[in-house]
Amino acid sequence: MGTGVMIGAGIFALTGQIAELAGPLFPLSFIAGALVTSLAAYSYIKMSNKWPSSGGIAMILQKAYGPGVIAASASLLMALSMVINESLVARTFATYALRPFGLESSGWLVSLAALAVIIFAYLVNAAGNRSVSGFSLIMSAIKIGGIALFAVAAILASGFSSGAFSQPVSLTNAEALLASVAFSILAFKGFTTITNSGGEIVDPHKNVGRTIMISIAVCIVIYLLVAVAVGSSLSISEIVEARDYSLAAAARPALGELGFYFTVAIAIAATTSGVIASVFAVSRMLAMLTDMKMIPHSHFGMSGGIRSHMLVYTVVIAGTLAVLFDLSRIASLGAFFYLVMDMLVHWGVLRHLRKEVGARATILLTALAADGVVLAAFTAAKLRSDPAVVAYAAIGIVAVFMGEWIYLSDNSEAPASHKDDRSEEKS
């Protein structure tokens, strides 16, 4: 599931955004993103090995900070970043689906197509977990194989000395390259959904961590192949011009019309499965947060259980974002929310649980510093290019913390501990 979310957003939605910031060195941004993500995964793996649970991020934060505003707010930031990911991938689906008809610049058609795939994801999820699991497994195999085939064919056709890689590299763009790593980290963040599977994975004390690292390894191989393929086929200016559909733009000069339509088909498959996987993961997480009394809940007159309500809320929010914001702003909001949440996880483990889970302080501090440096560089870059999105992110983060403080202050019952780990299920 995590790999499905990662590849759905990471390649098709973010390659152009990363290249716009990093220039000809943009493949290095994916490598840096993988390194930072691997450091970040250390906290999640240590926590999941100690307490494998279907509570995932919420369990980690509640163990670190106790039931209160910080744990609830950071968990909600993670959930919101996942909802943002849905809208990001949905708009990417729309641009690729409309590209063969030359309609990818039509704002209302992009919004309509994005809403359509979000509604489709809702219907698949509403049909049950087996439908989601089976569909995601099939689509993951198709898109990984298809993306790899496209990348290898494009590299063989274009070589390594053309396109963006023939352009001069400017060392003065180091800050922009560093800022681009925020998008690269966002491309890998799907690994966090694997922490929600501790209640289902066999021998989770070992296999959750292994699954996370395998997912990151698979993604970095695919990402680098695609980055090199796109960079060898298009100049940076061409990638930026086609940043919302860069893979399709790279396929045509390298592989001709057949390669173009093949890439569009793979993009549609990848983004569709990405939205479905993301809707599943975030609705499940929101249902858990509700059960743990970390967020408020209202039925609004709907029948069914909490999970079915969360499916509705998830797709409504994702659809609204897909209509209101373009890809760049959606991705930026997701990066801000995720990095703040990630830093809170590392600090919580370092400050409160390091000895209990057997984590090394040096690794935790390195992960915390890496997130902080990337967040600072990304904020500086966005303040110059799009200060409004920085304001939106700041307002959103403050609103989450204030809202949780008000809710938890007014709620007579403290947030409950999550009861889904395997040891508790067996008792």
The predicted-structure confidence for 191-216, as pLDDT tens digits, reads as follows 887 776 655 667 767 777 888 888 88
Domains with residue ranges and CATH for the chain: 2-417 (1.20.1740.10)
Q: Is 70 exceeded by the pLDDT of residue 10? A: no
Q: How far is CA 73 from the centre of its chain?
A: 18
Mean pLDDT of 112-133: 84
Q: Is 80 exceeded by the pLDDT of residue 304? A: no
Q: Is 80 exceeded by the pLDDT of residue 424? A: no
State the Cα–Cα distance between residues 119 and 364, nearest whole angstrom.
Answer: 40
> Mean pLDDT across the chain, nearest whole number?
85
Provide the 10 A C-beta neighbour count for residue 361. 11
Check residue 344 and give its pLDDT. 96
Residue 150 in contact with residue 262, Cβ under 8 Å?
A: yes
Check residue 192 and give its pLDDT. 80
The predicted-structure confidence for 258-283, as pLDDT tens digits, reads as follows 889 999 998 888 888 888 888 888 88
Q: Is 50 exceeded by the pLDDT of residue 426? A: no
Q: How far is CA 199 from CA 61, 194, 195, 203, 293, in A?
A: 17, 11, 9, 10, 20
pLDDT band at 368 (very low <50, low <70, confident <90, very high): very high
Q: Is 90 exceeded by the pLDDT of residue 172? A: no
pLDDT band at 134 (very low <50, low <70, confident <90, very high): low
Listing DSSP states for 229-295 in one string gives HHHHHS-HHHHHHTGGGHHHHHHHHHHHHHHHHHHHHHHHHHHHHHHHHHHHHHHHHHHHHHHTTSS
